[in-house]
Structure 1
Amino acid sequence: MGETGAVTGSSAGNALGEALRGWRDRLSPLDVGLPVFGSRRASGLRREELSALAGLSVDYLVRLEQGRARNPSEQVVAALARALQLTAAERDHLHRLAHLPPPSSGVIDSHVPPSVQRLVARLGELPVAVFSADWTLVTWSPLWAALLGDPLGLPAAERNIVAAAFLGSLPVRRGSLTLEPALVADLRAATVRYPADRGLAELVRRCLAGSERFAELWRAGAVGEHTHDRKVVAHPAVGEVVLDCDVLTVPGADLKIVVYSAAAGSADAEKLDFLRVTGIAVG
């Protein structure tokens, strides 16, 4: 469904739909890493663009904007907040409009500030992803998906690097042994900061029960920090790609940005260029 025609059902009784439409209209396609070709009849993002960014159907987004759907789930609201690049205050307001309580301070906040989302969009030439405090994947660049597999093919609950490293639940490559203590240390610190987060507690329980290595590091009070590392990714289309891996933190937000890169002009950089152009992803 295109942008022609007025949004029906918009009235004082449709605060949720009006807010969504207003936030969509103010967001430039360039802010989310989308190209702009020719003239655009719609200001801001088109519905099709927002629905793709949020992982929702266009029909459901239309019903939300028209007021025919008024009670989206917490997962839908979180996805819309990220796709619309809302501030924390706007994110909380969206929750209230959807008759949901704003996220509690005692649980992990997966909200990505607009500045970080713009950064990810501008770094579209690199595989880059943002993770929450428990190392759950929150957002990523198209080249990340082409290199490591599209996370949209996985349930949100399974997009966790700690589970991938110790339980093998994700089709991603194991990191070096030096990474494992850092992941365990991160998770232990997160349990102190977010004692009320049930998802975090369940993740720790699963890893303790399913991984002897995790249990060993957990009992030993593993301490580690993330340093510059090199990763080897085996891709079915381009073969092995050797990449530098850096983990960046976000001041004021409990988020981690992981960036893969290769030296300009190297064979590995050429492989990334090929994946960027073709979009061939891991099968």
Structure 2
Amino acid sequence: MTDAHGELGSLLRSWRDRRSPADVGTPTYGVRRAAGLRREELAALAGVSVDYVVRLEQGRARTPSAQVVAALGRALQLDRHEQDHLYRLAGLQPPGEALVGTHIPPGVQRLVSRMGDNPIAVFTAAWDLLTWSPTWAALFGEPAGRTAWQRNLVAQAFLADAAVGQVGRARYPDGGAGFRASLVADLRRTQGRHPHDPSLRALIERLQSGSPEFAQLWRSGAVGEHLSEQKTIDHPVVGAVEVDCDVFTVSGSELRIVTMTAATGTPAAEKLDFLRVSGVNSVA
């Protein structure tokens, strides 16, 4: 009989060895004895402790949560089959089509890493933020220290408690009414594809109870797709930044890639470049 826990540790080590820091956008320092990721690098990418990674690889930690498994899969850039196998080795059921997908394909991971000079982020179909570039963090504030609720774009748009900690704030000619209506119509489209996802249901219920505007828009029954648009981001350090916001859907997935760009040589491009170089992501 296969020792599932032993295989889990062995595979984690193998998957860690095949990923270089360059693959995941991690800078390298000093002499490296191996080309793969170090345990501390994997731990940082997955948001867990180094000790926990050690215990997983040695088979001493046997029941990682679904959230940890998902984070490890993203950090290691596993494909769908590898990700599902990791869930099973951890004694968990792989997420099915009934749930909103959170898996980020390796190609999308590389895209975010290599386009990091621009604000770029990846969201689920429920608009939960999964990963982002350093320039995204510099423009909007570092998401890593925020809760999953505070990283949800729809929650940020409608509820003040979810927007706490944001740095750059989007500004629209109509006050954002069109943007918010578009998000609600898009979220209803997602709800139609995943009516039994408990996390999505809880998100919608919390928004309905917390925002009269969201509740009214939800009752309207509008179904649509959130599209690209121009917007102005008011940042406390560099001021107003006019950007083109483009939303791309990943082929074979419901993930949304959101990018903010400005034409070369414009004041907005210079401001984004300053944020990228300075690493500003918080304001005292």
Distance 1:38 1:282, change over 3 A: closer
Indicate the residue corresponding to 1:144 in structure 2: 136
Indicate the residue corresponding to 2:231 in structure 1: 231
State yes or no: 1:261 paired with 2:254.
Answer: no
Code of the residue aligned with 2:114 in structure 1: it is: R
Indicate the residue corresponding to 1:125 in structure 2: 117
List alignment gaps of at least 5 residues for structure 2: none
Q: 2:257 & 2:64 partners in 1: Cα distance? A: 28
The within-5 A match list for 1:267-282 is 267-282=267-282
Structure 1 residue 12: Cα displacement: 8.2
Indicate the residue corresponding to 2:22 in structure 1: 30
Q: 1:167 & 1:13 partners in 2: Cα distance? A: 42
List alignment gaps of at least 5 residues for structure 1: 1-10
Contact 1:132 1:255 (C-alpha < 8 Å) held by counterparts = yes
- Secondary structure of the 2:36 match is coil
Contact 2:121 2:131 (C-alpha < 8 Å) held by counterparts = yes
Q: 2:229 & 2:150 partners in 1: Cα distance? A: 24
The within-5 A match list for 1:156-171 is 156-168=148-160, 169-171=162-164
Cα RMSD (Å): 1.8
Distance 1:52 1:191, change over 3 A: same
State yes or no: 1:21 paired with 2:19.
Answer: no
Q: 1:233 & 1:95 partners in 2: Cα distance? A: 39
Q: 1:12 & 1:137 partners in 2: Cα distance? A: 31
Structure 1 residue 77: Cα displacement: 0.6
The within-5 A match list for 1:50-129 is 50-129=42-121
Name the stretch that deviates more: 255-264 or 42-51: 42-51
Q: 1:213 & 1:157 partners in 2: Cα distance? A: 18
Indicate the residue corresponding to 1:6 in structure 2: none
CA shift digits 1:139-167 (9 cap, x unpaired): 11111111111111112233111111111
Spell out structure 1 runs of 4+ moving beyond 6 A.
Answer: none
Q: 1:196 & 1:174 partners in 2: Cα distance? A: 32
Contact 1:108 1:132 (C-alpha < 8 Å) held by counterparts = yes
Contact 1:136 1:161 (C-alpha < 8 Å) held by counterparts = yes
Contact 1:129 1:141 (C-alpha < 8 Å) held by counterparts = yes
Identity of counterpart residues, as a percentage? Answer: 58
TM-score (norm 2): 0.90
Contact 1:92 1:102 (C-alpha < 8 Å) held by counterparts = yes
Structure 1 residue 228: Cα displacement: 3.2
Structure 1 residue 18: Cα displacement: 0.8
Q: 1:51 & 1:199 partners in 2: Cα distance? A: 26
- Secondary structure of the 1:157 match is coil
Structure 1 residue 132: Cα displacement: 0.3
Contact 2:4 2:89 (C-alpha < 8 Å) held by counterparts = no
State yes or no: 1:135 paired with 2:135.
Answer: no
Contact 2:139 2:275 (C-alpha < 8 Å) held by counterparts = yes
Q: 2:127 & 2:5 partners in 1: Cα distance? A: 39
CA shift digits 1:60-95 (9 cap, x unpaired): 111111222121111111100001000111111111
Contact 1:181 1:224 (C-alpha < 8 Å) held by counterparts = no
